[in-house]
Amino acid sequence: MTLINEPQSRLFFALTCSAPLRKAISQWRALLSLRAGRPVPSANFHLTLLFLGSVDQAQIADICAAASKIKAPGKPITLALDRLEVWRKSKALVLTPDDAPPELMRLSYALEQAMLRFGHDQENKEFRPHLTLARDYQSPVPEAGIPPDFFLRADRFGLYQSHKGQYSLVAVWPLVQTTQGESERFEEKTGSL
């Protein structure tokens, strides 16, 4: 596990996008000719499952252990990112699913419950699956000549660290059950989305 040498880390759980999906979304976003906001680098495209915020470095191993005990859905999670929305409160231009699959909602809820013991409480925040295209976006929804129609397929989820706009993978867990024991279900990683 390679982490930034600071007492706290900004962490989040997420599903990653494949390289071909990141490229397709980036090319589609370019067609929107955005004149507002800050486009998110395509290398950072992901679907957040749970944002933890600043976490003490000493808690990370325990967070990983708790995440490894979550029951995997047993199959990859697939969802269509087929709606373009502006979230006024968070000033974000996002892609969202018209219909979120139940296994995605269950995974997010399971992570939320597992993180309660670390003082992370999402009580007032409803999970809204999305992929952020631009931040600081305060304009109307842009006209899309071609409607969004992207499919995210994930067979694993990861814990990521955010540092100065760069995301690095801390650990990853499969969504498909394996014959390995619970303690062997996660791999420590180094790298980016």
Q: Tokens for 178, please give them.
A: 């394996």
How distant, in Å, are the alpha carbons of 8, 31, 64 from that of 95?
A: 30, 15, 28
> What is the C-alpha to C-alpha distance for residues 32 and 171, in angstroms, rounded to an integer?
34
- Of 22, 29, 120, 130, the active-site residue reads 130
> What is the C-alpha to C-alpha distance for residues 93 and 76, in angstroms, rounded to an integer?
26
Active site residue 46: yes
> What is the C-alpha to C-alpha distance for residues 85 and 106, in angstroms, rounded to an integer?
23
Is the Cβ–Cβ distance between 34 and 138 less than 8 Å? no
* End-to-end Cα distance, the chain: 15
How distant, in Å, are the alpha carbons of 4, 12, 17, 30, 139 from that of 190?
A: 11, 15, 17, 30, 37
Q: Tokens for 46, please give them.
A: 């992901």
Is the Cβ–Cβ distance between 9 and 60 less than 8 Å? yes
- Of 21, 46, 97, 112, the active-site residue reads 46
- Would you mind telling me the total number of residues written for the chain in this entry? 193
Q: Could you list the active site residues? A: 46, 130
